[in-house]
Structure 1
């Protein structure tokens, strides 16, 4: 059963979702950007995940990180299973008014038909059941579109909705994330096809099922407005997709109804060596900027 208070916050709250879900492949880069030398974790996965957990705990326990502007946070599985302030991380987040989500995909297949589907997810039902017990509200899963190949895009959307149905069966809200590469030369054509395919998938849902959508900021502003207003969509959020924070916020501010779900753009100026006061000031500045782009539209 979906938590009605969390659901109300996600549907109509003013703010954005923080993506704190770097996994094994992207963790080394995240730590380097944070100012942790590679020789502190190279070849030692346990130490690497310990360091990234310390970074994430520092973020979610910072004074500026709370439900006034941060509506939700997407967690890596190991972060979900960890603790912050002596509490399970999902509990600690919700205590601060931030709705917890889980990144549950296992990475991407090789490219075919211009897209990368998600890899198989063995043990998914067990993972979802554990997430429910820990108080997680929803999940996120990512696949990638690189060219305007209708067959490939249709396959991406089909896979997202099929697994989304499995997630809904556990009482969780799925965030479907068919990312469009911002480097694709035919982005507008991709986005037009994606809009059609997502609309078909939404129209095929039954009962009272709803999903959230996490989409690349479109090349043409307000391309996804029909999805924002679709009765099967609880919220449409945007990934930064490789844009800097300034670039992502500028583009997002022209897309009505879309709020941010940024990762690198949120964390890009945070450094391991900053004092707690400096760290919170830098984080607070980024939160304010992303919040404004999410709620104030040009």
Structure 2
């Protein structure tokens, strides 16, 4: 079950968490950004083969290093595939010293009360069993908040913690991700409401239950200080949310104790047509700048 060495690394290590978990709907966009157009594949199987090639190239790159990267969040299919003869999570842990996480949500429901809850996850128990077989450390699940609607925000956090309890019971550490849309007209108010709801739920956890939080970088720096310091929170990580890497890094530096868990800001400058030398240099530049923003605060 819980790997104490991995737990200590995630809780106390210097570095950030790489989000490599774009799934079904966002895969064509991720591939297009990587320089692979939609006419390069003719069906979903070929598309997923190509995204696995991209992820394999990232993970096997010398720039993808456990010295800088504490953990990586995988898409379910990536967990079931192999890199150099090892399943991806095992490869990360054994060859890179990177702690593997698994995205478990099935995408977002339609907008209601200013938020998007997660779609139902009917087979969560079976997924968690498979995650344990692959020595996955934790999970991630995302909802989205667009408006400062107290009822909607409460529903988001209630749903996240209800599923988190199921994940904790399976011996995994859940990353709870209630993303506040960076374009929300009342982002700051959303963040105040969200913080209150999160604290209410965190205060009800037993002392054996530990969760992580993945949050949009807040409008007011250090507004999440109480969450960072909460005894039930292993780590607070930030999503890039559509900010450019420079902007995300700059905003992150203003928040003590929060580290990055970037996706687009990490892989945005990588391209299928780059030579290995160019690819590794671009990835190294991204990794080092995100690491720097995670560990060196203003």
Alignment TM class, shorter chain as reference:
over 0.9
Match of 1:289 in 2: 289
Q: Distance in 1 between matches of 2:99 and 2:150?
A: 35
Give the unaligned 5+ runs of structure 1.
Answer: none
Q: Does 1:110 align with 2:110?
A: yes
Match of 1:177 in 2: 177
Match of 1:129 in 2: 129
Q: Does 1:195 align with 2:195?
A: yes
Q: Does 1:98 align with 2:98?
A: yes
Q: Distance in 2 between matches of 1:271 and 1:251?
A: 26
Q: Distance in 1 between matches of 2:258 and 2:230?
A: 13
Question: Superposition pairs for residues 50-69 of structure 1, below 5 Å?
Answer: 50-69=49-68
Partner of 1:128, secondary structure, is helix
Question: Superposition pairs for residues 1-298 of structure 1, below 5 Å?
Answer: 1-42=1-42, 44-95=43-94, 96-298=96-298
What is the aligned residue count?
Answer: 297
Partner of 2:28, secondary structure, is helix
Q: Assess if the C-alpha contact under 8 Å between 2:207 and 2:232 holds in 1.
A: no
**Cα deviations across residues 19-41 of structure 1 (Å, max 9, x unaligned)?**
00000010000000000121012
Moved over 6 A (4+): none
Cα distance, 1:206 vs. partner? Answer: 1.5
TM-score, normalised to structure 2, is 0.99
Q: Distance in 2 between matches of 1:274 and 1:188?
A: 40
Cα distance, 1:207 vs. partner? Answer: 3.7
Cα distance, 1:278 vs. partner? Answer: 1.1
Cα distance, 1:94 vs. partner? Answer: 0.5
Partner of 1:291, secondary structure, is helix
Aligned alpha-carbon RMSD (Å): 0.6
**Cα deviations across residues 36-55 of structure 1 (Å, max 9, x unaligned)?**
1210125x100000000000
Partner of 2:261, secondary structure, is strand
